[in-house]
Amino acid sequence: MPLDYDKLSEIARECRVQIIRMLTHAGSGHPGGSLSAIDILTVLVFGRMRYDPKRPDWPDRDRLILSKGHCVPALYAVLAKAGYFPESLLPTLRKLESPLQGHPDRVRLPGIEAATGSLGQGLSISIGMALAATLDGKPSRVYCMLGDGEIQEGQVWEAAMAAPRVGQPDRPLDNLCVILDYNKIQLDDFVKKVMDLEPVIEKWKAFNWPVIEIDGHDLRQIDKALDQAEATKGRPSFIVAHTVKGKGVSFMENDPEWHGKAPKKDEGIRAIREILGVAENDWADYLKKTPHVAAIVREIEGL
Amino acid sequence: MNAKATRAAFGEALIEIGAKEPRVVVLDADLSKSTMTRKFANTYPDRAYNVGIAEADMIGIGAGLALSGKIPFVCSFACFVVGRFETLRVSVAYTEANVKIVGTHAGIAIGEDGYSQMGLEDMACLRALPNIPIIQPVDETETKQAVAYAVQHQGPLYLRLTRQAVEPVSPPDYRFEFGKAVVLKPGEEITILGTGGVVFNCLEAAKLLHSEGISAEVVNVSTVKPLDEELILRSAGKTGHVVTVEDHSIHGGLGGAVAELLGEFLPTPVNRLGVVGFGESGDPKRLYAKHGLDSAGIAQSVRKFLNR
């Protein structure tokens, strides 16, 4: 059945609102990369993956490893919406005793597959999971999202070399799909300025990966790329998703400052308004007609 | 029973366990000839993966396998596998991945290859990490039982093994118990706590001391983390003097752990024997003599410590 892109687009919008909500409450965190990743995570979790939030340890589930762990607000938003935990927990992000740690913690929060955030480790873990699934003849697919700055880490290239080789020839890891969130910005500055990755597609191809290049905010392109990855046999697949850091919030887009800075109250509310596509003049009316958004805004105002 | 390297005993134990436990998977990073896992790989080719010279990736793949229900052994030299500390820290310890970390070629006793190949700080590193116990079996008998224990232990665990053959010291009816130290020779005046291959030297030193009228208690501390606090406090309380012996840095290993324990609960004079600074190339026996880890050196340290 073809995916309902309008519906997915609506979910992605709601998740963006939750990302801003969480980060404004937390007063710290990483909005830029969360907003660049959310469309891909939305298609994966609400369009592609097999899982059961009631049984987070279901052995046949598909796995999602957010190797760029600092963007976990995006993952929390989709996991909450998928039913792993109530959305009311989202404002506890980064607060003492919250299972929503600043970076993913597998032990504290069911639905998180591995602790990540110490960059460069997630692809190796994904290889292990993909290998276990092939050894056990399970249908599970493993999705790993890497950050662009993250692939400057050496371990990524150890794993890049290994993944197309491990299990050959009888058990290739064609159940593994890696997605690069190529938003072109890392903590210190633009990736190009810090340590350029280019030519990134040629690099992965040279490591024997089939590479698919897409616009990481076009839900249809994301979906089609995942189709293509799933149809690829004998090798894992690599998707280069060109994205915009801070996507959906005008003052965050393409600005390295918003890699790791939380919005203040007024910035958070403005960001939510922009995400919802409401003009400033219509905002009061909109809030009257949309109580669940009004509640989120009131909550932020009360911080 | 003859002297045997604990890495060799590990390789043999893996094959036996592999037959009984299909979840066991073995990962290597181009040192399978040295870690002695080759035979396992030949016996169970579907459950052995050589990832090339890429220890961090090996550890991460192990974590992924463990999180999907396998019991992976990730194997390399102690210095190389623990050298990928940050991957152990997050992908294994913090994630609570059921990975068995195997570090062979522990200590200066590897000899001629020199410092860069010697695991000398591995226990110190892993002692600082929550959630990773450390077992250093003393001989073939204990190694085989420790490997069997590792498979049934829920959670990560570190096995520290020797390149060199080590003399048997465990009694024939010995049963390894996780977290339990074993008194191999009772004594009254000094407690010698040893771990790994040097325990044999401790026993030999105790014989020398006995002939001089010094009664030494020799304890095999194979579980270095968590320590058998009860036994160590009891022995230290009895003898009033404690010497620790390990083929590892004197910082942060058995000596460090014992000093922390006694300093807090039963202040007792402690003399830590081990490696100070970097190791170096040389004949293993002469290296042990130079660093005071042979029986003569241990006996001499005890005499000096007791002013005898």
3-state SS, one letter per residue, for chain A: CCCCHHHHHHHHHHHHHHHHHHHHHHCCCCHHHHHHHHHHHHHHHHHHCCCCCCCCCCCCCCEEEECCHHHHHHHHHHHHHHCCCCHHHHHHCCCCCCCCCCCCCCCCCCCCCCCCCCCCCHHHHHHHHHHHHHHCCCCCCEEEEEECHHHHCHHHHHHHHHCCCCCCCCCCCCCEEEEEEECCECCCCEHHHHHCCCCHHHHHHHCCCCEEEEECCCHHHHHHHHHHHHHCCCCCEEEEEECCCCCCCCCCCCCHHHCCCCCCHHHHHHHHHHHHCCCHHHHHHHHHHCHHHHHHHHHHHCC
Alpha helices in B215-283 (DSSP H): 229-239, 254-265
Q: Say if A134 is an interface residue toward chain B (CB within 8 Å).
A: no
**Nearest CB to B63 within list A105, A114, A118:** A114
d(CA B241, CA B182): 18
**Nearest CB to A129 within list B56, B64, B87:** B64
Together in a domain, B121 and B230: no
d(CA A38, CA A116): 17
Bridge-based pairing of strands B48-50 and B24-28 is parallel
Together in a domain, B159 and B211: no
Q: Is the pLDDT of residue B268 over 90?
A: yes
In the listed set B166, B201, B234, which residue is the last one of a domain according to the structure?
A: B166
Residue B81 domain flag: yes
* Chain A residues lying within 8 Å of B49, measured CB to CB: 131, 166
Contact A118 B89 (CB under 8 A): yes
Find the CATH number of the domain harbouring B238. Answer: 3.40.50.920
Residue B152 domain flag: yes
Q: What residue has token string 């709601």?
A: A14
Together in a domain, B90 and B210: no
Number of domains in chain B: 2
pLDDT in tens, B113-150: 999 999 999 999 999 999 999 999 999 999 999 999 99
Cβ contact A29:A73 at 8 Å: yes
From residue A63, alpha-carbon distances to A1, A50, B72 in Å are: 22, 9, 19
Together in a domain, B102 and B153: yes
Domains defined along chain A, listed by start: 33-260 (3.40.50.970)
Most A CBs within 10 A among B57, B76, B85, B95, hence the mutation to make, goes to B57
Taking the CA of residue B68 and the nearest CA in chain A, the distance in Å comes to: 6
- The backbone region for B174, taken as left when phi is positive above 0, alpha when psi lies in -120 to 50, beta otherwise, is beta
Taking the CA of residue A29 and the nearest CA in chain B, the distance in Å comes to: 19
d(CA A167, CA A162): 10
Taking the CA of residue A105 and the nearest CA in chain B, the distance in Å comes to: 7
Residue A88 CB-half CA count within 13 A: 1
Contact B69 A121 (CB under 8 A): no
Residue B307 CB-half CA count within 13 A: 1
Q: Say if A176 is an interface residue toward chain B (CB within 8 Å).
A: no
Together in a domain, B290 and B232: yes
d(CA A215, CA A219): 9
* Chain B residues lying within 8 Å of A67, measured CB to CB: none
In the listed set B166, B201, B217, which residue is the last one of a domain according to the structure?
A: B166
- Output the pLDDT for position A2: 82
How far from each other are the two terminal CA atoms of chain A, in whole angstroms? 44
**What mean pLDDT, rounded, does chain B reach?**
97
Cβ contact B59:B88 at 8 Å: yes
- Output the pLDDT for position B1: 80
pLDDT in tens, B79-92: 999 999 999 999 99
Residue A234 neighbours by CB distance under 10 Å? 11
Catalytic residue numbers of B read: 55
What residues of chain A score a pLDDT lower than 70? none
* Chain B residues lying within 8 Å of A136, measured CB to CB: 68-69
Angle, helices A31-43 vs A5-26, to 10°: value is: 150
- In chain B, the residue whose alpha carbon lies closest to the alpha carbon of A122 is B60
Find the CATH number of the domain harbouring B85. Answer: 3.40.50.970
- Output the pLDDT for position A178: 98
- In chain A, the residue whose alpha carbon lies closest to the alpha carbon of B86 is A118
Taking the CA of residue B62 and the nearest CA in chain A, the distance in Å comes to: 6
- List Cβ neighbours of A279 (8 Å cut-off, separation of 6 or more): none
Contact B94 A105 (CB under 8 A): yes
Residue B200 domain flag: yes
Range of the domain at B156: 4-166
Most B CBs within 10 A among A66, A121, A153, A157, hence the mutation to make, goes to A121
Q: Is the dihedral of CA B69, B71, B75, B80 positive or negative?
A: positive
**Nearest CB to B51 within list A121, A133, A162:** A162
Residue B232 domain flag: yes
Cβ contact A187:A259 at 8 Å: yes
Q: What residue has token string 């969130």?
A: A181
Within 181-200 of A, beta carbons closer than 8 Å to B belong to none
- Output the pLDDT for position B308: 86
**How big is the CA angle at A184 (ends A114 and A278), to the nearest 5 degrees?**
90
- The DSSP secondary-structure symbol of B90 reads I
Q: Is the pLDDT of residue B172 over 90?
A: no
Together in a domain, B161 and B199: no
* Chain B residues lying within 8 Å of A121, measured CB to CB: 56, 60, 86-87, 90-91
